[in-house]
Amino acid sequence: DFVEFNKFFERIIERFEMSKSQNVHFIKLLPETSYFVDIDTDKLTQVIDNIISNAIKYSPDGGNIRFGFTVSNNMLKVMISDDGMGIPKENVGRIFDRFYRVDRARARSMGGTGLGLAIAREMIEAHGGKIWAESEEGVGTTIFFTLPYAEDETEDWE
Ligand code: ATP
Ligand code: MG
């Protein structure tokens, strides 16, 4: 589907904002300009849902979650950032592996299967993008992903 990414992203963020039970603050830094992407909206929704659920799950009470994206080289670079517990350096590269969870004890109490980010990576790569994480233990985690965008909606019809 051909969708305006700004609106699509905002709608997902708003859905979480209405339903979240934890005391976390959402901060949105989204460009005013419209950017169109040609995506499988169900799959991209699943990807973003998992990233946001993780950010909430691993955030402290009163934590901030930041949403933003920037544009360069015909790619959107999306970032979702939390100031939660973070991930030890030696484990950051593995969180996109199937069934990988940083700490079994902590993982057990948090629920989940460890598949969310592995699926996210598959789906982002299928859309021609990349996904990665930057994290510091005790400071927070940022998940980045890229997606190719179309200059404007008419481009598809030519
Ligand atoms: P599932 O998504 O299948 O319910 P999950 O959330 O444990 O389970 P992933 O979403 O794949 O699995 O994440 C893998 C692991 O990466 C998590 O178990 C957690 O240890 C770590 N992780 C992911 N996001 C964050 C984050 N925002 N802050 C800290 N750790 C994170
Ligand atoms: Mg998850």
Query: What is the pTM assigned to this prediction?
Result: 0.93
Give the nearest ligand 1 atom to 101 CA.
18
- 11-15, 114-118, 145-149: range with lowest mean pLDDT: 114-118
Judge if the beta carbon of residue 87 lies within 6 A of ligand 1.
Answer: yes
- Bridge partners (DSSP) of residue 29 are 68
pLDDT digits (tens, 9 = 90+) for 27-43: 999 999 999 999 999 99
pLDDT digits (tens, 9 = 90+) for 86-138: 999 999 999 999 988 887 666 666 767 889 999 999 999 999 999 999 999 99
Residue 158: is its pLDDT beyond 60?
A: no
pLDDT at 99: 84
pLDDT at 22: 81
- Mean pLDDT score, 70-87: 95
pLDDT at 112: 76
Tokens 């940083």 found at:
102
Q: Minimal CA–CA distance to 67: which of 54, 56, 53, 82? A: 82
pLDDT digits (tens, 9 = 90+) for 49-68: 999 999 999 999 999 999 99
Ligand 1, from 117, 124, 134, 143: best to mutate by most atoms within 8 Å of Cβ?
117
Residue 154: is its pLDDT beyond 70?
A: no
pLDDT at 153: 53
Q: Minimal CA–CA distance to 40: which of 8, 11, 15, 13? A: 8
Computed over every residue of the chain, the mean pLDDT equals 91
Nearest-ligand number for the alpha carbon of 56: 1
Tokens 């950051």 found at:
92
**CA–CA dist 49, 123 (Å, integer):** 13
> Which residues neighbour ligand 2 (ion) by CB within 5 Å?
50, 54, 116
Q: Minimal CA–CA distance to 64: which of 31, 29, 23? A: 23
